[in-house]
Structure formats: C-alpha cells, structure tokens
Chains A and B, each alone.
Chain A
Amino acid sequence: MSIEVLMPALSPTMEEGTLAKWLIKEGDSVESGDVIAEIETDKATMEVEAVEEGVVAKLLVAEGTEGVKVNAAIAILAEDGEDPANLDAPKAAAEPAEAEAAPAEDPTPALDERPAQMAANVASVSDPDVPEGTAMKETTVRDALRDAMAEEMRLDDTVFVMGEEVAEYQGAYKVTRGLLDEFGPKRVVDTPITEHGFAGLGVGAAFNGLKPIVEFMTFNFAMQAIDHIINSAAKTLYMSGGQMGCPIVFRGPNGAASRVGAQHSQDYSAWYANVPGLKVIAPYDAADAKGLLKAAIRDPNPVVFLEHELIYGESFDVPDVEDWVLPIGKAKVRREGTDVTLTAHSRMVGFALEAADILAEEGISAEVIDLRTLRPLDTDTVVQSVKKTNRIVCAEEGWGRMGVGAEIAAVVTAEAFDYLDAPPVRVHQEDVPLPYAGNLEKLSLPGTADIVKAAKAVCYAE
C-alpha cells in the first residue's frame, strides 16, 4: 500500500498554503519525524515532518506552488517492499477520503432546534414548613453560619474547613469560633496567606473525595483565587463529560464593610453569578444563612457563598429544629405588596424592607423579594410578582453596569413586558471605586432612601 502525504493544516485557521520547498527528492527514504518540506502559511513558514516511513515515490506538487489546499495529496510514499516506480498518482489527489469524516456542517444547531434548556433548576421547591409551635432561637448570622458548618461536620467526616485564621484565631470574623475545639486541626485547617494556592488545593481535595469549605477572609482576596473557582471548580464537570464533580463551598464576607477603602469593599455577586457551573448564594438573615449553608455543603457542585460582614452581628429568629436545610435556587417573598416589586439580596434586603415600611406610610404597597440564590436565579418568583405589581426596582450593593439588577431587568422585560407600567429601575453603588472618606462612602453606597426614591419614580408618585 502506498501512503499519500497530505498538505497539512498547520494552524487552527489554515485552509491553504504555499509549498515553499521540498527537502526530499524522489527515491529518498524517509522516517517518521524527518523534515520533508517547508510550507508557508499566512503567519509563518513551518516545517513538515513525515508521519510514516517509506521511500518517496512521487512528489505531486512542485516547489513554489501557491494555494495548495489543506488535505490535498502532495507526495506519495512507497512502503517496505513496494517498487516506487510502479505507483501511480491517485486519481483525485485533492479529494482526500478522510476529509469526509470531518465535521463540515455548522456544528451550532439553530436556536429552536436546541433541546429545552434545563429550567434553571428551580422546580417547585419551597422552604420546609416550620411546624406550629416550633421554638425560635435568636441567633446572629455569624453563629448561624458556624452552626451550619458544625452540624454538617458532625454528619460527614469528609467535610472540613480551611482558610486564613479559621482555627486557632477562631476566625477573622469569628465565624468559625469553636470549630477547632470540637473537630481538631485535621478538619479545621489554618492556611498560610495564600489564596490562589489554597483555593486550588481545596479544589484538588474535592476532586479526590473530600468536601472542603474554603473560607476567604473576604471575597476581595478571592480575586487571587478566582482562576481556581472558575477554571478549575466550575468548568471541570463539563470538561470531563460529567466525571469529575467538585463538591466545594467557597465562603466569606463579600461587599463593603465600613471605611475600609476600595480594595476591601467590592461586591462580587454579578461576577460569580455570570459563571455556569457554579451555584451562588447570598443570604440575608440567620435562618437563611444556616439553612442555605447546610444545603451548600451537601450540594455536589461548587458553591460560592457570599456573606456580609455588616450583618454578621445581627440577630434573627432561626427555627429550632433538628436539621434546618433550605432549597438552593428559591427566592423568598419577605413582604407581600401590590404596587411595586423590590428585589434585593444580602444586606440590601434589610434596606428594601425598611424602604417598604416608608413607602407604606405614603400609601405605596411594596413587595420585597429576597433573591437568596443568584445562580440559579429564581426568575419565576420575580416575574410572577411583577405580573401583579407591574413595577420593579432591583437593588444591589455592587456596581450597576452588567449587574444583578441589569439581569433581572432584562428577564422581566423579556418575560413580563406587557405587564410593565414603568421601565425597571436599578439601585446600585455609584460607578466609582469605593472612597474612604465617610461622607463620600455614604454617597457612593446604595441605601434605603435610594430604594424609596426609585420605587416612587416607577410608581410616578413624585
């Protein structure tokens, strides 16, 4: 059998090239790896190596020929024992049979041919019923988070927590207080200040059967680690065709603290919520913090769990039940209303509730939706609400451009356009790095008054 040497594609985009030079002649013996020709592409001159061994029977394309199509036969090799002189050029050298197997059609199916995308995973789950007469335990958000971790660590030996100052120091914000005493240094691991490294280490441990909770002292520092959160944790299940799951929780305070300046005061909600392969949770009160963190630890997927330093110390009722777990991907209507929908997550929920009180005094009935989970986003709850109120204000602490509010506004516009009596309005941080000066910081961050103002605007009440 003779072997055809085909014009190779030397880059992902090459379609044709110039056969600049032959480095072999008819009758030469070549071994695989020998350079046989030089080919010029639009980008570079490349050497072509033989991939088979044999004797050069014929050179089919002359030196200097331009526009030689990829996959056209350019030479023929005779294999062991064949007489090169007896070999004829193939009838249609430029028609490589192999190419038939190459996908020629546009691989992207038309939109309407695509299978229905999984509806954001938010089926008809809802919070567990709290039985009549269940005692409520007043708990800070900080302790609720700690309780969630402790309970899950008691249930599952593979759960461990790691991060800076989580063990002996008892947590930079005391969220891990007491865990070292109960679980020991094997499962409550102080790391060096090395976010990129320990985030990657955590992901590797998750690949290999553990369920890490990786605490970032703040999500501002997680920018050093974001490559592992996205490229290693979020994408690997997909890239592995479903083999390599990554059950890990990345948690810590997100957003602005108080007077700590621009580098320590960023809200990453929209960043992480943009990424398929992650789940993103941002709870407001203690009950949600506990119930959703427990769910996050049990979830087989990577979860980014965004807390808020300024609500760690706030106390809320937490149902005193054996195993308080909440569904990921379900928003919560915190206050029902008829005139305007207010969406918010994390600390902004408190402001939205305050705004609703103020609006009520002025005769405007606001419905407050706590998004709780940003990915998957419970768009059903929001759209249903807007169909009732016909107006929406989307509040978030971070920058507005390409933000969570922008996404919600787009969803509502697409799915409830005919119900809207006013364009959706966003409330967000000013489009500047967060300033240090007290007065400027206050001017930059969104608060109750901004939400009230926006709600009145969409109600045309001003």
Chain B
Amino acid sequence: MAAKRNTKSSAAKGAGKDELLKYYRDMLMMRRFEEKAGQLYGMGLIAGFCHLYIGQEAVVTGIQAAMEEGDQVITGYRDHAHMLACGMDPNGVMAELTGREGGYSRGKGGSMHMFSREKNFYGGHGIVGAQVALGTGLAFADRYKDNKKVAVAYFGDGAANQGQVYESFNMAKLWDLPVIYVIENNQYAMGTAVKRASSETHLYKRGASFGIPGEEVDGMDVEAVKRAAAKAVKHARDGKGPFILEMKTYRYRGHSMSDPAKYRTREEVDDIRSHHDPIDLIKKRLIEGKHASEEDLKEIDKEVKKIVADAAQFAKDSPEPDPSELYTDVLVEV
C-alpha cells in the first residue's frame, strides 16, 4: 500500500457525546497539568529539562482512544501527556517532575524517564529516536508471544531524521511487526523548522521505500486522530505489519523551558492558538452539538483543576528520596 495523504474533512462520522466529553476532559487535564508543570518549573520546584506538550493534546488522546488494554506505548522526552493518556496517576507523574519519593521512578528518572509496567508505558526516553527501535522491539515481543497486542511508538519530526528510525522501519516491515509509528510533527525540531532539516517534508511518506503505508492526519483534531489511529491499529493487529501516522500538530511553548522560541513569530503561535486549538475545537463541537452546556464544561474544568492542584501539592509534599536510594535499582539483585 502506498503512502497517501488523508485530507478528508474531519466532519465525517462524529463521535458520540460520552466520547467527546472524555476527549475534552483528557485534553484539558493534559493542558492544565503542563501549565502547572511550567509554573512549578518557574518556582524552581522542577529542574533540569522539562518539555511541555501544550498544543499537541489531540494526538495522544486520539491515539489512546483507538488502543486496547495491554497495548504498549513508548515515546521520547515530551512524555507527560502520554503518561496521563495511559492512565498513570497525575500525582506520581508530577512528583517525579519534582524529583520526589512519590514519583513514578522514586525521583531517579525525572521528566524524561518514567515508566509503568502496570499501564504498559515503556518510557520516557531522552535519546532522540531511541524509542523507535525500542518500540519496534516491544512489537517484536508481541508477535513472538502471539498475544495480538500492538505497540505504539511516538516520535517527533526531529527524530524522523535519525538513522535508527529507518533501521527499525526496515525490520518492522520485513517481519510485519505490529507497531504503529506516530510522528508528532509539531513543525520544529527544537529550533529547526521541518523544511530546513528534511529533504522530504511529508514525513508520512518516509516508510514508502520499506512498503509501510503512511497517512497524514490533522493532529489538532482529536476525532480525525482517533479515526486514523483505529485504522492503523487494526492494520497492525491484523498482522499486516507497521503503519505510519504523521500528525500535523503544534507546540505552543518552547522546545524546553529554557527555549525562548525566537525561530517563529508570535503571530504564528497566536494564529494556531486562536484558530486551531484542539481543546477549543472539541468544546465547540460539544456546545454546537448540544452535548454539553458551558456550565457542564465549567464543572469539568473545575474538577480537572482540582486534580492538577492536588497533584502539585502531592509533588511538593512528597519527601526527597532517601539517601539509600542512591544505590538501589542499579542491578536486579540475584
């Protein structure tokens, strides 16, 4: 199957009320969580690298909606929302950001390195592109065990230029592994625009020479993401091998907290925020479809805000890891 560009409008068969409300709530949670993380960073409670997902919420939300229990997720360093999407506890994620005992890695991983076997979240990887080979390995194990599960490996437009991505594509198609490659094309690899780094800017075509089908998707529209993901997941689960989804999306904040983002204009950012915001879009559909009132949504806002505030409180109150933790978890004791 050749790569193709899916330009169909997202107005095709819409989601039901419950689904839309869940999208709204999940995306809002991610946004509020990230805003809070940015705030805690500003207060010095979060240190080091911290990459916020604000603007890209529709991608993980839509993909996750197409997955089944037991399917695996792996991603790079912009990973907080992926963890929330997998159902990981906001308290544990936020406390890892603050480097505390209550964090998912007991404070030893930080923003870029969290995992949950229970929720099938495999990290959280700081080396650009590494998660693509690792995610292909997750799928290799799925096929080996014949468990009918699939793996989703997220990576950015920057990682799409790493050599190991193509080494992975090759093996994934050679062995028809059940893996979905989700390219989160937020237009900038740190400060480098896609067209300045990629000879072929339609990244969904990158699997063509391996025989991997690919589609471009409006990554700001959670329903479009869900539809594309459902198709890709079915393809992989049916044993037809890997599938590439290029999500056209946008991050509102800098690459990391210390990036002043001077490589793009304020107008560009404002335009996306005002006209293409994924949360505003779903809010509009909820209201216009009479699925919810402004008041209903305000209630959700309040509830989400409370969860995030509690997570921040937990992350502040949780103690630093005990000094003895320095030496644990280097090796599994035998």
Contact = CB atoms under 8 A, between A and B. Distances in A.
B170 interface: yes
B164 A115 contact: no
A96 B39 CA distance: 13
A101 B48 contact: no
Contacts of A67: none
A47 interface: yes
B130 A232 contact: yes
A98 B98 CA distance: 13
Contacts of B197: none
Interface in A63-95: 70-71
A264 B317 CA distance: 54
Given A6-B43, A12-B47, A201-B168, A51 B38 contact: yes
Interface in A1-42: 6-12, 32-33, 35
23 contacts: A12-B49, A51-B36, A51-B42, A99-B44, A121-B331, A192-B167, A197-B170, A198-B133, A199-B133, A200-B133, A201-B140, A204-B122, A204-B136, A204-B151, A206-B137, A207-B137, A236-B115, A237-B331, A238-B329, A241-B105, A241-B107, A243-B117, A277-B330
A203 B140 CA distance: 11
A210 B42 contact: no
B332 A115 contact: no
B194 interface: no
A32 B317 CA distance: 25
B44 to A, nearest CB: 5
Contacts of B140: 201, 204-205, 208, 210
Given A10-B257, A98-B45, A244-B117, A115 B327 contact: yes
Contacts of B54: 33
B14 interface: no
Contacts, number: 230
A93 B205 CA distance: 54
A32 to B, nearest CB: 6
Across the A-B interface, give the 6 residue pairs with the lowest CB-CB distance, nearest first.
A204-B137, A200-B133, A197-B167, A8-B42, A208-B141, A11-B258
Most buried by A among B38, B45, B72, B74: B45
A200 B168 contact: yes
Contacts of A207: 122, 134, 137-138, 141
How many residues of A sit at the interface, in one of the four size bands? 35 or more
Contacts of B326: 109, 114-115
A242 B329 contact: yes
A8 B43 contact: yes
B45 A101 contact: yes
Given A6-B42, A208-B72, A244-B117, A107 B133 contact: no
B109 A194 contact: no
A109 B126 CA distance: 27
Contacts of B219: none
B104 A241 contact: yes
Interface string A105-118: 00101000111011
B252 A196 contact: no
Interface string B162-176: 011001101100100
Contact of A210 (B113, B116, B141): B141
Contacts of B72: 208
Contacts of B103: 241
Interface string A205-226: 1111110000000000000000
B76 interface: no
A192 B171 contact: yes
Contact of B113 (A102, A227, A240): A240
B12 interface: no
